[in-house]
A and B are shown apart, each in its own frame.
Chain A
Amino acid sequence: MTANGEAPRTVSKSAADDQQSTATSVDDGSLGSSRVADPVIESRDLDVYYGDDQALDGIDMTIPERQVTALIGPSGCGKSTFLRSINRMNDLIDIARVDGELSFHGKNVYDEDVDPVALRRKIGMVFQKPNPFPKSIFDNVAYGLRVQDQDENVEQQVRTALERAALLEEVEDQLDSSGLDLSGGQQQRLCIARAIAPDPEVILMDEPASALDPVATSKIEDLVEELAEEYTVVIVTHNMQQAARISDKTAVFLTGGHLVEFDDTDKIFENPESDRVEDYITGKFG
């Protein structure tokens, strides 16, 4: 039902036009305010199916290093699916099938010789609902270190991760108590600490703040911006303001699993190419 053939799909380099009336969707425009960053993750014509249903249709996207890339779009448009296809968490869903290419540092992660476990050690993940293990705070954060055999100096690494996740101060003297006894917001920061403890390169976050109150949310947002100094962050959010505030790049997915527009966040929010994106962002539908 959509005329997706004409939806401008800006791929690879950022194409922040200085001439806002230019209707082209070429990718050789002059670089705007954004700094040039190496691509870490590139998706080429990526399709994902659940059984016979197609959830993603021909996604082309280049995710730059050490920046925050936000994925927005209405419910069911495939944001989580895309996120999970980056670290092959879709492998855990029996009926999921992936076509096309998704490369990490130029290597297609769906190649035969890629071990998804090794991949996930480079690409950590934080989920929508905080899901700490029913273990102590310490053991939660140490979990990744232990399963990845990085068990030298675990104590120090755990503290560093908690510190970076802005949680250390609050839990410093209860590291042995259960992670389940923390508040929702603290649990989510615990999960972030768990994800960053083994020092991955990329952190995927699927609506990490959607279950949290505004104060906890703003803590997570600050944290995400800080994390982007060291990590590449890809974050799904339903909150436009959040995407606008914290991300460098924004990808707008619309119903049917199409990536309608992908560009610098400023450009998407101030001057999107597609009317449908504008409608979505301004809340005319969604």
Chain B
Amino acid sequence: MSTPPTTDDSGFEFDESAVRRKRRLGKLFLGLCGTATLVGIVALVALLVDVVVEAWGWLTWEFLTYPPSQIVEHYDPSNYGDLPTGPGGLYPAIVGSIYLIVLTAIFTLFLGVGAAIYLEEYAPDNRLTRFIEANITNLAGVPSIVYGLLGLAVFVRALQTGASLIAGALTLTLLILPIVIVQSQESLRAVPDSMRQASYGTGATKWQTIRNVVLPEAVPGIMTGIILSLSRAIGETAPILMVGAATTMFTPPELTDPTGPFSAMPMQIFEWAKLPDGDFQHVAAAGIVVLLTVLLLMNAVAIYIRNAYDPRG
């Protein structure tokens, strides 16, 4: 139009160099991001390899099924044959961890999902609600040892549960509740409003709408959130240390007596790692491999649920 007469060619060349410069910048950025990813992966793999190598040869079926021992030789498979007391293992702590997680899962499911449904579907959108929601988000960032102290004060002392399975489970519930609530709320919020309207328009009540339309849509997200939180809880040491979980238990806890003492995998691993005898590092490593395996399995279940229950296939 009224632009000064430049030939097509020169304009084109100018553009191209600009694009090339931008592209170089893009490549640089890609390189930086790639390096960051690589550092993360390498560190993780190194850690895993190190632990697995340490644990190699010490992780046996007996390790999973026998109570711990004070003597490091009892953990060595080559000695299993001539032991009067039987081999040493992680059994009571494995059972303790599983019970702890089962109880925590039950409490979290009711409290977390209940609170999320209330906040998202029922609570009026006023300043109080927003204040509560903001603080739930803040609670998610509180260090776990603080929850341990809270559990010690509230459950163990005030409610007189003692250093028990139930105190540990309730404390872990408090710890992951904020994350579960926030995650569940997000899943509920992601259900399209058009679904709710379709339901109300058909003459459904609020509860029928939540029960039949909103929850089924939100369940995959909610379940994923809960399982991932639980897999964080199962590895937590500080909170259960505070409520007084035993470092070493020779018999597994009873689910019928949730007020009894308990141990858990992280506690037992921590205990082993503290012992001076060098070979206990192998025992601790074997414990870590078990813990990591349980953790990875839980994450796999979470991914499976997310895919399997996605109603949109």
Contact = CB atoms under 8 A, between A and B. Distances in A.
A148 to B, nearest CB: 5
A144 B312 CA distance: 21
Interface size bucket, B side? 20 to 34
Contact of A133 (B200, B203, B208, B213): B213
B194 interface: yes
B202 A124 contact: yes
Nearest to A146: B212
A148 B213 contact: no
Contact of A131 (B198, B204, B311): B198
Interface of B: 124-125, 192, 194-205, 208, 212-213, 216-217, 311-313
Question: Which of B192, B196, B198, B200: most chain A CB closer than 10 A?
Answer: B198
Given A117-B205, A121-B203, A134 B198 contact: no
A143 interface: yes
B194 A120 contact: no
29 contacts: A89-B197, A89-B201, A92-B196, A94-B125, A117-B200, A117-B205, A118-B203, A121-B203, A124-B201, A127-B194, A127-B201, A133-B195, A133-B198, A134-B216, A134-B312, A135-B311, A143-B199, A143-B202, A143-B204, A143-B212, A144-B203, A144-B204, A146-B212, A147-B203, A147-B204, A147-B212, A148-B202, A148-B203, A195-B202
Nearest to A180: B312
Given A127-B198, A131-B195, 16 more contacts: A118-B203, A120-B202, A124-B201, A125-B197, A127-B194, A129-B194, A131-B192, A131-B194, A133-B213, A147-B199, A147-B202, A178-B313, A180-B312, A194-B198, A195-B201, A200-B203
Interface in A112-138: 117-118, 120-121, 124-127, 129, 131-135
Nearest to B209: A147
A272 interface: no
Contacts of A147: 199, 202-205, 208, 212
